[in-house]
Structure 1
Amino acid sequence: MTANKQSELACWIALQRVPGIGPVTYHKLLQQYGSPQYILNNPNQLSGFNEKLVENLRHPDWQQVEQDLLWLEQDDRYILTIDDERYPVLLKEISDPPPLLYVQGEVSLLNDWQLAIVGSRNPSASGRNTAYDFAHYLADGGLVVTSGLAMGIDAAAHKGALSCGKTIAVVATGLDRVYPAKHRQLAHDIVKNGVIVSEFPLGTSPKPELFPRRNRIISGLSLGTLVVEAALKSGSLITARMAMEQSREVFAIPGSIHNPLSRGCHQLIRDGAKLVETAQDILEELGALAGLKPQVIQTEEEIESTHEKDGDYQVLLNHLGYDPIAIDRLIENTGLTADAVSSMLLLLELEGEVESLPGGRYVRTGS
């Protein structure tokens, strides 16, 4: 980075760190006065802003800015201003895009086609498996999976995407912190095979009011948002509603009427979200828009061929007929573990080969 560019970036960072300046005020200042350099060099020329803010502008924290620039010196670390050509195009379209993005990992992924997957921090086992399998299937189909590094559905989506593709984690802290702390290894894996991004400066600790702000970035980066499981009052619904406001697609997976974590998805569907039963539904909806290659969507023959190569899948398919059979009977008849049978049934259902029926029963659907 040249000295001039570094000086410009230092001013962008310094302006963000001035107390009282959020994204809206930052953009208002830029629209009226053009550049962070001018604003910081001429605080007395500003009009329409309160005196406390003007006073804060007279005393930027240049020492902290120097530390921020030192953070940049390690590989695969970036601070993007909204004027940077690498700044994600879709995010720039929302009403209040972050003036700055702190990035660690594969920065070019920010402009790849993305699908956000969000949901409960305390999902059911089925919900967690669904998030993982959808993310795996969609990442294998050419989409980057974006989520928030939270417990539950977010983590399952990141892991599913990492199993065969790329993922983006949008966090509500500075990039020098990992929250929750137990996701430190997951965050490390994402940096190696994806990217972590935040609008918040280094040193920012997790606070409840920061997570809704983070959510608009998750939806803003993405072509659409998929909600897997969500209660009626949850951050996932905030993300989905932000996606709607941003004119992005919203998808929701229905569930049992007896499951409280299905109620948020059902409400979204009533509000106009697209009901999703298979990951294929999403690829077909977004494929043309994103320019995904047709061959990434597996044909039934390819799926069947894949299963034939997997002995456990073939054993399960041999015991599945066109008459309903209970999952307990399948476990008994195949000799496979309950976890293995549940996981394989879910994947077969996502691929349209198996249909689930009330009472934990399953039937084959193909010929």
Structure 2
Amino acid sequence: MIHRSEAVLRRRVIAARAPGLTAPQFLSLAKASPDLELLDEPDESALRQLGLSTAAARKLAAPDLAQIDADLRWLDSSRATLLAVTDEEFPELLRLSPDAPPLLFVLGDPGALAEPQIAMVGSRNPTAGGVATARDFASKFARAGITITSGLALGIDAACHEGALAGGGLTVAVLGCGLDLIYPKAHEALAGRILGAAGALVSEFPPATPALPEHFPQRNRIIAGLSVGTVVVEAATRSGSLITARLAGIAGREVFALPGSIHNERARGCHELIRQGAKLVECVEDVLCELKISFASQLLASPTTVAKNPPVLDKAYKILLDALAFEPANVDCLIERTGLNSESITSMLLILELEGHVAPHPGGRYSRMAGQ
């Protein structure tokens, strides 16, 4: 659990209650006083001079202290975490997104947010085939070591969370309400299972904030921002999932869409995304291969994004790394050497490449890096 001083946490809660406070405005506050000490004796005029809106400055200058105390009690009793965009633990991909939230409430393990994530979204009223496909994809991604991020909504979202859990992996649910109010209520048990499996529930909204319609596009930008790519499983032309896909594109992340029958109204949103340039995918390997190419481009542009202190490799990664020699080998060869399936190997190679353990070669081959 991440520990903050009571004073710092209190100031952060006050900031979280400021309407319309953006990440750049929060950074301006933090630059003026790193621990937000200026909120102890706030001056509305001085806050506006830092670039804050009148509404945000007014709320920071005169917070509802009873509400702040209630928020602090909930944070303590639920063992929740309040991350700021200035924290080292704040998820890096979300920090880099165009409209990052300044603060993030987290129930569960904040470390889950640092894992490679793929967003999976779709219709709240899916077909049986859409549900089955969502579960299958999420389960396979999870077995390949990818965390599934979605919105805990009815339909495809729930199927994706369920699939990730069935695959023995992590899943992150981003809510459009306070974390003390699971929405929809029917998914309270699912939320509990996510937490029980070392996943996390996330929201930028303070406790007791209801699930209002205008909150869901805001939630969707966090789903997209946390993830290396977004997969739309089944969506009609007016589905909120298309908002998530659009926001993923704006953030420079990959967008994938599964095609469906031309007679299925709930597939037309996916078809529209494909017409607009989303990658058509038919299997998990399509996504993993595309993301590997995308990551390679990012690494060439920004080599410093590679982890300086990569985590200790678990057993499956060690098996794969031990099977790699300094002579390049392809995936088929690695399947024979390790007994692992192709989707697991493809995903693990991506992560090993990101962490500097392996090097890619033409023809889809890989070799072990010197010193590994």
Give me the TM-score of the superposition, normalised by structure 1.
0.75
Where 1:41 maps in the other structure, the secondary structure is coil
* Match 2:288 to one of 255, 263, 283: 283
Distance 1:262-1:4 versus aligned 2 partners, 3 A rule: closer
The alignment covers a number of residue pairs equal to 304
Residue identity in the other structure for 2:258 = I
Which runs of structure 2 are paired with 1:226-241 in the superposition (5 Å)?
226-241=231-246
8 Å Cα contact 2:260/2:267 also seen in 1: yes
Tell me the equivalent position of 1:21: 20
Aligned partner letter, 1:265: C
AA paired with 1:228? V
- Aligned equivalents of 1:205, 1:113: Cα separation in 2: 30
Superposition map of 1:1-367 within 5 A: 5-18=5-18, 20-23=19-22, 26-27=25-26, 30=29, 33-35=32-34, 36-39=36-39, 41-43=41-43, 44-47=45-48, 54-74=57-77, 76-164=79-167, 165-193=169-197, 194-287=199-292, 289=295
1: distance between equivalents of 2:4 and 2:143? 42
**More deviation in 234-243 or 59-68?**
59-68
**CA separation in 1, counterparts of 2:176 and 2:110?**
18
The residue identity in structure 1 corresponding to 2:13 is: I
Deviation at 1:205, TM superposition (A): 0.5
Kindly tell me: are residues 92 and 299 of structure 1, through their superposed partners in 2, closer, same or farther at Cα, counting changes over 3 Å?
same
| CA distance in 1: counterparts of 2:2 and 2:244, whole angstroms | 38
The one-letter amino acid of 2:160's match is A
On the 8 A contact 2:224/2:248 being kept in 1, the answer is yes
Give, in whole Å, the separation in 2 of the partners of 1:136 and 1:4: 36
SS at match of 1:13: helix
Cα deviation digits, residues 182-214 of structure 1 (max 9, x gap) = 111001101111111111000001100000000
SS across alignment from 2:87: coil
Query: Structure 1 CA distance, aligned partners of 2:272 and 2:28?
Result: 39
Q: Partner residue of 1:324?
A: none
Structure 1 stretch 55-64 or stretch 102-111: which is displaced more? 55-64
Gaps of 5+ in 1: 307-367
Give the Cα–Cα distance (whole angstroms) in 2 for the partners of residues 31 and 81 of structure 1: 10
Q: Which residue of 2 aligns with 1:320?
A: none
Which letter does structure 1 place at the counterpart of 2:38?
Answer: Y
* Bigger CA radius of gyration: 1
Structure 2 vs 1, CA of residues 63 and 83 (structure 1 numbering), >3 Å: closer, same or farther? same
Alpha-carbon contact 2:21-2:102 (below 8 Å) kept: no
Shift of 1:79: 1.1
* Cα drift, residue 30 of structure 1: 2.5
Inter-partner Cα distance in structure 1 for 2:266 and 2:6: 48
Residues 149, 223 of structure 2: 8 Å contact kept:
yes
How far has the Cα of 1:75 moved from its partner?
6.3
Following the alignment from structure 2 to structure 1, what is the Cα–Cα distance between the partners of residues 54 and 285?
A: 56
Distance in 2 (alpha carbons) for counterparts of 1:169 and 1:77? 14
Post-superposition offset of 1:295: 5.6
SS in 1 for 2:5: helix
Quote the Cα distance in structure 1 between the aligned partners of 2:64 and 2:221: 28
Q: What is residue 311 of structure 2 aligned with on the other side?
A: none
Contact (CA 8 Å) 2:2, 2:81: kept in 1 or not?
A: no
Q: What secondary structure sits across from 2:236 in the alignment?
A: coil
Q: 2:236 & 2:258 partners in 1: Cα distance?
A: 13
Q: 1:116: Cα distance to partner?
A: 0.3
The CA distance in 2 between the partners of 1:254 and 1:96, in whole Å, is 29
CA distance in 2, matches of 1:34, 1:249: 37
RMSD, aligned CA: 3.1
Task: Report the 3-state secondary structure (helix = DSSP H, G, I; strand = E; otherwise coil) of the residue aligned with 2:6.
Answer: helix
Deviates more, 1:203-212 or 1:62-71: 62-71
SS at match of 1:117: strand
- What SS class does the counterpart of residue 158 from structure 1 fall into? helix
